[in-house]
Structure 1
Amino acid sequence: MKQPQFPLKKLITWALYALIPLALFHLYFYPLPLQQNQKQQQQQQQHHHHKVLSTKGISRNCNYTDGRWVQDHRPTIYNGTSCGTIKDGQNCMAHGRPDTGYLHWRWQPRQCKLPRFNPLTFLNLIRNKHIAFVGDSLARNQLESLLCLLSSASPAELVYKNGEDNKFRRWSFSEYQVNVSVFWSPFLIKGVEKGSDYGLKNHNKLFVDVADEKWASELHGFDVIVFSVGHWFLHPAIYYEGGEENENVLGCHHCREENAFNHTEIGFFDVFRKAVRTSLHEVVRKGLNDQLVVLTTFSPAHFEGEWDKAGACPKTEPYKEGEKGMEYMDMEMRKIEVDEVERAKKEIEEKMMMKKKKVKIEALDVTRIAWLRGDGHPGPYMHAFPFANGVPERVQNDCVHWCLPGPIDAWNEILLQMVKRWRDQTGKR
C-alpha cells in the first residue's frame, strides 16, 4: 500500500509563519545585543574623536590633562621621614597635619592609564644623564618630589650647594650616573630681585629680552630641563629691554615707588609671555641635539581670602567636577605657556629643515590638575605644630606650595611618561 506524501510546501510555509512571531518576540524582549553594538560603535567614534583632540596635549596618544582625581588607598611611595630632602615648610606630616586624606588620591586621565611612578624605570631612562629644574620655589617643590620618589629606590648624594637658602644644588645617583640639579631663577630672564643690593626696595627689575645667565651658561650640560615659573611675575616690577647697556623702559607693574611713578602701568601678562618666549628661544638657539625641555605650566594658589590677610586653604579633599571654576589669571598664565611652547616647536621645525640641531620642547600642563587640589597645600602646617599652644590670633598659611608627599608627585608621574617617549624617539642613546 502506497504511503501518503507529506505536503512539503505547506510545511515550509507553516514553519515561516511560526518563526516570524518568534523573531518578533525575541527582538521585543531582547534588543540588548543590537543596542550594545550601536553603543560600541559610538564609543569607538568618541575615542577616535578624543584621540584627534588630544594631539596638542603632552602625548600624541593620551591627553594627560583631561581626567579626574580618584581615591587611592595604597601607601605613598615615600613619607615625611623616609625622605630627607623635603623643605621643612612642605613636610606636612612632620609638621603635624592631622588629616591624611589628601595623600590618597591619584590622577586618572580619561582616555588612558597613568602608571604609578616607578623610580627604577625613571633612573634607567636617564642613566648617564643630567636633569635640571630651573625656576622659582615651585620648580624646587617639583624637584624635591622627584628626589624623594627616586630615593625610594636608590640613595641620592648631595654633591654641590651654593647660594642663599641652597638655591643652587646638585645631587648624584652614583649607581646610575644620574645628576639632578636645581637652579634658582624666578623669572627665567635676567632680573634683579627687590630689596637686593642692586634692586629697588619694593620692585623687581626685569630685562625681558635677556635669558638669565645663571642657567643659560650651564645649558650645554643638561639633558633634560624642567622650567617652572609664574608667581613672581605678580609682584611689583619695572620692565626693561635692550639689556643693561641699552636700557629701554617698557613700563611697570604696580608702580608704587617714587622713581617708578612716571612709568606706564602695563600689567604682567605680556611681560610673562616675553619672558617665556625669550627663555625657550634661548634653548632652541643654544640647546643640544636630543635635549628635552619641559615647561611645567602655572600652578594655581588656593587662598580663601587675601594671602597676606590671614587667607587660608582649609579644604580636605579635591574639588568635584564643576564645583568651582578656574580663575581667569590661572587660565591666562597657562594659555601663554602652552602658546609659547607651540611657537617654539615651530621654530625648531624650521631649524630642522635647515639640518640644524634638534631640541624637543613639551608643555607639562598641570594647571587644571593642580586647580582641583586645594586640599594639598601645607596651609598652617608650613610651621611645625602651629596649634600646639592653642589657636593663635593670626595664622600664616601656605596655599601656593604643595605638601610632600602630595599632589605634586603626579606632575612627576606625567614627567616620567614624557621622558619615556623622548628616550623612545631618540633610541635611548
Structure 2
Amino acid sequence: MLEKTMKSSSTLFQDRFHSYTKRDRCFNIRSLVPFVLTSLFMASILSFFLLYSPLPFSVFPKRDLEIVQNQQLEEQLHIQSQTNHANSSSKSQKNEEEKSCDLFKGRWVPALRESSYYSNSSCSTIPDSKNCFKNGREDSDFLNWKWKPHECELPRFDPRIFLHIVRGKKMAFIGDSVARNHMESLLCLLSQEEIPKDVHKDSEDRFRTWYFPNHDFTLMTLWSRFLIVGEERMVNGTGSSIFDLQLDKVDDDWAKPFPDLDYAIISDGHWFFRVMHLHEAGKEIGCVYCKQPNVTDYNIDFPLRKAFQTAFSFINGCHACRNTVTMVRTFAPAHFEKGFWNTGGFCNRTGPVKEEQVDFKSFDWQVRNIQVEEIERAKEEGKKNGHRFELVDVTRAMLMRADGHPGEHWGNKWMKGYNDCTHWCMPGPVDFWNELMLAVLRKA
C-alpha cells in the first residue's frame, strides 16, 4: 500500500513538473521577444555608425583616449620590467648558487630512508670480498647516511640519466684495486636500470669489460699500480714487494687503449707505501724506504707527484685523445686503527665521525692535495690543446667514513686474521663516489 502511494505521488509530481515547465517556457519566450528586437535594433545602429563614420572613436575626447592608451602602455612596460628582473634575478641566483656550492665540502647527515641503491639480491656482480653482509657483518647503520654539501643538495644517483649521458661511449677506470672497487659500485648502480654483459676478463681478473647493449655503453677497468712503469723485483721466483719505478715512462697497459676512451677515471696512491727504487732517464735517482748509503732517500710524495705528472703529460700530448674527458678521483683513505694491515690493525666503527674529528694534517690529505694540484696544472695546460680534466674529490668525505670498510668481513680464506680497511663494503659509502661523478659529468 505504501509503495503504491509513493509511486502515485511520484507520478503526480512528474506530471506537475512537466506541465509547469511547458507553461514556464512559453511565458519566457514571449517576454524575451521585445528585448531581442530592441537589442538587434541597437546593434544595427552601432554597426552603421562604425562602418560609415570617418572617425568612429571621436565621440571619446582625444585627450582621454591618449591617457587610457598611455596607462595601458605603462602597465605593459611595468609588467615586462618585473618579468625581466625576476628572470635575471633567478638566473643570477642560480649562477651564484652554482659558484658558491662546493660539492666536495659538507657533512654526513642521517638519511630519511636507507640510502643504499641496491642489495645482495638486486646486484649479482658484488665481489665476495666486498659483500660485507654475506661475510657476516651484522650492523647496517653505516648505510643510513647521505653526503650534504654545505651550500646545496647532492642529487641521488639516477642510472637513467647516467646511461643517457654515456650512450654510445666508452668509459674506463684506471688505477689499482680501489679504482676497481669504484667501478664495481657503478656497475651495481647501473644494473638497476640495465643488466650488462660480461664481455672480457683476463686471467688475473685485473682487466674487465662490461657492455650495456641497450645504451651501447662500454665500461672497463684498466689495472695500473702506479700509472707509470713499475716492475716488482723477484727473489727465487717470488715477489719481493720491492719495485723499480720509471718515473718518466707511462704504463702502456692503460696508455695504449686510452685514445679510444670517451671518459677516463684515474686514481692511485695505495701502492706507493712500499720500498721503491726510483729511475729517471734510465738512471736510478733515489729510493723510498731504502735507507741505503749513497742513495737519495725520498718521501712518498715525490714519486706520487711524478707519476701523476707523467700520466697527465701523456694525455695532454696525445693528439688522438682530445675527445676524452679525464677525471681524477682523489685518494680514498684507509682506516686501520691500532696497527697496519699486517700488524693487527682493524676498523670496526659503525658510523661516520664529524669533520672536526678528522686529521687534515695526515698523509692521506697530503696525497689528495698533490692530486688536486697536479690536475689543476694539467687542466690549464690542457686548455691549449682542447683536453678536458675534471675533479671528483672524495677525500674529505671519506676521511669521515671509517665505518665503510669490510674489516674482518671480507671472506678471505688465505689471509685469515687480517682486516681489510682499505677497500669498501658494497653497498656502502663507496656509492657516494658515483653520485659525485654523475654531478661532475652533468656539468662537463
Q: Confirm or deny a common fold (TM above 0.5).
A: yes
Paired residue secondary structure (2:279): strand
Aligned residues of 1:161 and 1:168 also touching (Cα < 8 A): yes
State the Cα deviation string for residues 335-387 of structure 1 (Å, max 9, x = none). 11000011001111233xxxxxx22101211111110001000000012799x
Aligned residues of 2:316 and 2:382 also touching (Cα < 8 A): yes
Aligned residues of 2:232 and 2:240 also touching (Cα < 8 A): no
- Fraction of identical pairs, as percent: 37
Q: Distance in 1 between matches of 2:169 and 2:191?
A: 16
Aligned residues of 1:96 and 1:384 also touching (Cα < 8 A): no
Residue 82 of structure 1: how far off its partner (Å): 2.2
Hey, what does 2:287 align to over in structure 1? 252
CA pair 66-254 structure 1, distance change in 2 beyond 3 A: same
- Pick from 299, 313, 334: which aligns with 1:301? 334
Amino acid at match of 1:254: Y
Equivalent residues in 2 for 1:113-192 (5 A)?
113-164=153-204, 166-192=205-231
Q: Relative to structure 2, which stretch is displaced further, 83-92 or 72-81?
A: 72-81
CA pair 158-323 structure 1, distance change in 2 beyond 3 A: same
Hey, what does 1:208 align to over in structure 2? 247
Structure whose residues are more often helix by fraction: 2
Q: Distance in 1 between matches of 2:438 and 2:364?
A: 25
Residue 289 of structure 1: how far off its partner (Å): 2.9
Hey, what does 1:271 align to over in structure 2? 303
Paired residue secondary structure (1:412): helix
- Pick from 364, 375, 398: which aligns with 1:330? 364
State the Cα deviation string for residues 136-167 of structure 1 (Å, max 9, x = none). 01100000000000001100111011141x10
CA pair 101-161 structure 1, distance change in 2 beyond 3 A: same
Hey, what does 1:382 align to over in structure 2? 410
Hey, what does 1:288 align to over in structure 2? 321
Hey, what does 2:391 align to over in structure 1? 363
CA pair 315-116 structure 1, distance change in 2 beyond 3 A: same
Q: Distance in 2 between matches of 1:88 and 1:197?
A: 32
Q: Distance in 2 between matches of 1:103 and 1:196?
A: 44
Residue 298 of structure 1: how far off its partner (Å): 0.9
User: Any unmatched runs of 5+ in structure 2?
Assistant: 1-88
Aligned residues of 1:203 and 1:236 also touching (Cα < 8 A): yes
Q: Distance in 1 between matches of 2:242 and 2:99?
A: 42
CA pair 61-288 structure 1, distance change in 2 beyond 3 A: farther
- Pick from 128, 138, 143: which aligns with 1:98? 138
Hey, what does 1:373 align to over in structure 2? 401
CA pair 159-268 structure 1, distance change in 2 beyond 3 A: same
State the Cα deviation string for residues 260-309 of structure 1 (Å, max 9, x = none). 65522112211110100110111111153332101111111111122121
Aligned residues of 1:114 and 1:413 also touching (Cα < 8 A): yes
State the Cα deviation string for residues 210-251 of structure 1 (Å, max 9, x = none). 110011011111000001100101111101112xxxx21111
State the Cα deviation string for residues 74-94 of structure 1 (Å, max 9, x = none). 352111232222221111111
Q: Distance in 2 between matches of 1:198 and 1:334?
A: 35
CA pair 98-156 structure 1, distance change in 2 beyond 3 A: same
User: Any unmatched runs of 5+ in structure 1?
Assistant: 1-43, 352-357, 387-391, 423-429
Residue 200 of structure 1: how far off its partner (Å): 7.0
Hey, what does 1:236 align to over in structure 2? 275
CA pair 135-198 structure 1, distance change in 2 beyond 3 A: farther
Higher-Rg structure is 2
Is 1:421–2:443 an aligned residue pair? yes
Amino acid at match of 1:160: H
Residue 399 of structure 1: how far off its partner (Å): 0.8
CA pair 195-101 structure 1, distance change in 2 beyond 3 A: farther
Hey, what does 1:36 align to over in structure 2? none
Where do 4+ consecutive residues of structure 1 move more than 6 Å? 196-200
